[in-house]
Amino acid sequence: MIKELNQKIQSRELSCLDLNKEYLAIIKEKNESLRAFLEVYEKEVLAQAEAVDKKVNRKKKIGLLEGIPYGLKDNVCLQGKRTSAGSRMLNNYQAVYDATVVKKLKEAGAIVMGKTNMDEFAMGSSTESSVFGPTKNPWDESRVPGGSSGGSAAAVAAEMVPWALGSDTGGSIRQPAGFCGVVGFKPTYGRVSRYGLIAMASSYDQIGPLAKTVEDVALIYQVIKGKDVKDNTTIEKSEADLEDNFSLKGKKIGIVKEFFDSEGLDKKVKTTVEKRIEFAKEQGVEIIEVKLDYFKHSLAVYYIMMTAEISSNLARMDGIRFGFNESLEKDAKAKDILDVYNFSREMALGPESKRRVILGTYVLSAGYYDAYYKKAQKIREIIKQEVKKVFEQVDVLISPTSPKPAFKLGEKISDPLQLYLEDIYTVGANVAMIPGISIPAGIVSEDGKDLPVGLQLLGRWWEDEKLLSFAKALEL
Ligand code: GLN
């Protein structure tokens, strides 16, 4: 899709200005009810589009992403623009610099259409914890788009933009992609710089693209990846390019039996994914059942380590260094600095952020650190080793992206544990730091409405492009 748009602009079949105007018109029509975008930069978008047209008119060659608009999740810094992370705490925060991904995309000429809605500080699976109100699923507006990158997924699904960026700490790119019927890719931890991403859990967070096709996410990935001196967890590691003539014949795909036998897995989701596995077999793939004894503990490991990392990352949201300080201006009751912290955090953090900060502070506290945080770290290492071994037998692992299709707004928000179970298939990739992608697997019907089902593929550490080749071959 991006390639075609690029060709049309380059050949002047379509002006970049008209293209962007079309997307803006769709946003105007749909955003009020979907609430996928929090802000749209119409004036800047049109000015940039005009500049691209001028360049084309001068017979200059434009880059693949040049003039193509995208949605930016609101936890990624864009200089001079509000970057709220869906929180009241950062409601007035204007980013003072560009995130590395934004910088790279600016250099490539991509146009930021606006900021997309998200769960507060990326905590959630439904985009309902955003202080700006929930995003709705374009397939059925009584349902959630998934989360936390729900705004990005809904924006792509509703054709408000051809692609968007999200962040994935435990599944936040893949799960909403699955719920909205688009492609969502979380690269290997360390492939894409996190500089300028408002941290949730630093050893799990990774930025990645959502788009309509695997080819598009691969294109975007190639632009945003790479070593960044500002993020010392990134490294330069070469990899084979996306293979054009990639054949599934003779390849090995692993399935974890427990994933498919799980009681929580919706029957229709199961059959939809199994159909795609049958398709893979017809293409000559060998399906191998693999055993992963520790992988199933990923969710437990994640919910301990992630809360610990959140409690320390959100410590800076204290009303002074960052955040809401209306208490200082308006509330004469603040007697001392502790009062300022307390008032700010009490007023400006939502219930999920508070829950996780408290849990995280507990698991990091003296006496419990060894029992929880350290133990979880050890299990994470074991899981990584186990996953490495499994990838000696198979090229990729396949599973549903989520146990069920998109659920109703309000259905799970009061039951955090239910919501946490949404991550059962996705979180392992973050624990093991491997790449993962969700692609559309088919459509099921719920209450007379069509809903998409996502299929997840997990790949070897640092073999992102190979994973993308698999995903492309298995695309509907
Ligand atoms: N749903 C998960 C959580 O609430 C994952 C969030 C994410 O990936 N940012 O922690």
pLDDT of the chain along its 476 residues, tens only? 999 999 999 999 999 999 999 999 999 999 999 999 999 999 999 999 999 999 999 999 999 999 999 999 999 999 999 999 999 999 999 999 999 999 999 999 999 999 999 999 999 999 999 999 999 999 999 999 999 999 999 999 999 999 999 999 999 999 999 999 999 999 999 999 999 999 999 999 999 999 999 999 999 999 999 999 999 999 988 888 777 789 999 999 999 998 999 889 999 999 999 999 999 999 999 999 999 999 989 999 999 999 999 999 999 999 888 887 665 555 557 788 888 888 889 989 999 999 999 999 999 999 999 999 999 999 999 999 999 999 999 999 999 999 999 999 999 988 888 888 889 999 999 999 999 999 999 999 999 999 999 999 999 999 999 999 999 999 99
Closest CA to 100 of 216, 206, 231, 3: 231
The answer to whether the CB of 171 is under 6 A from ligand 1 is yes
Q: What is the pLDDT of residue 260?
A: 93
Q: What is the pLDDT of residue 12?
A: 97
Task: Measure the CA–CA gap between 216 and 357, rounded to whole angstroms.
Answer: 37
- C-beta separation of 422 from 402 below 8 A: yes
Q: What is the DSSP string of 70-130?
A: EEEETTB--TTSB--TT-GGGTT-B-SS--HHHHHHHHTT-EEEEEEP-SGGG--SSS-S-
Residue 259 CA to ligand 1 center (angstroms) comes to 19
The answer to whether the CB of 200 is under 6 A from ligand 1 is yes
The answer to whether the CB of 400 is under 6 A from ligand 1 is no
The answer to whether the CB of 6 is under 6 A from ligand 1 is no
What is the residue with the minimal CA distance to atom 5 of ligand 1? Answer: 170
Beta strands in 246-318 (DSSP E): 252-256, 286-290
Q: In 10 A of CB 118, how many CB atoms?
A: 34
H or E element that contains 384 = helix 375-393
Question: Catalytic residue among 172, 311, 438, 469, which?
Answer: 172
Residue 231 CA to ligand 1 center (angstroms) comes to 21
| Opening angle at CA 251, ends 185 and 167, nearest 5 | 10
> Residue 388 catalytic?
no
The answer to whether the CB of 124 is under 6 A from ligand 1 is yes
Closest CA to 75 of 95, 104, 96: 95
What is the residue with the minimal CA distance to atom 10 of ligand 1? Answer: 123
Task: Measure the CA–CA gap between 147 and 75, rounded to whole angstroms.
Answer: 13
- The DSSP bridge pattern shows strands 37-40 and 69-73 to be unpaired
The answer to whether the CB of 426 is under 6 A from ligand 1 is no
Task: Measure the CA–CA gap between 471 and 476, rounded to whole angstroms.
Answer: 10
> Residue 84 catalytic?
no
Of the residues 75, 76, 119, which should be mutated to test ligand 1's pocket, given the most ligand atoms within 8 Å of the CB? 119
Of the residues 172, 186, 206, which should be mutated to test ligand 1's pocket, given the most ligand atoms within 8 Å of the CB? 172
86-99 CB burial, b ≥16 within 10 A, e <16? bbbbbbebebeebb
Question: Catalytic residue among 126, 148, 353, 402, which?
Answer: 148
Residue 418 CA to ligand 1 center (angstroms) comes to 13
The dihedrals phi and psi of 451, each to the nearest 5 degrees, come to -135, 140
- C-beta separation of 168 from 137 below 8 A: no
The dihedrals phi and psi of 427, each to the nearest 5 degrees, come to -70, -25
> Residue 125 catalytic?
no
What atom of ligand 1 comes closest to residue 124's alpha carbon?
4
What atom of ligand 1 comes closest to residue 125's alpha carbon?
1
At 434, is the secondary structure helix, strand, or coil? coil
Residue 92 CA to ligand 1 center (angstroms) comes to 24
The answer to whether the CB of 122 is under 6 A from ligand 1 is yes
Q: How much of the chain is in helix, strand and coil states, percent to nearest 5? A: 45, 15, 40
| Rama region for 393: left / alpha / beta (φ>0; ψ in -120 to 50; rest) | alpha
Task: Measure the CA–CA gap between 427 and 295, rounded to whole angstroms.
Answer: 10
Residue 403 CA to ligand 1 center (angstroms) comes to 15
Question: Catalytic residue among 15, 30, 55, 73, which?
Answer: 73
The answer to whether the CB of 467 is under 6 A from ligand 1 is no
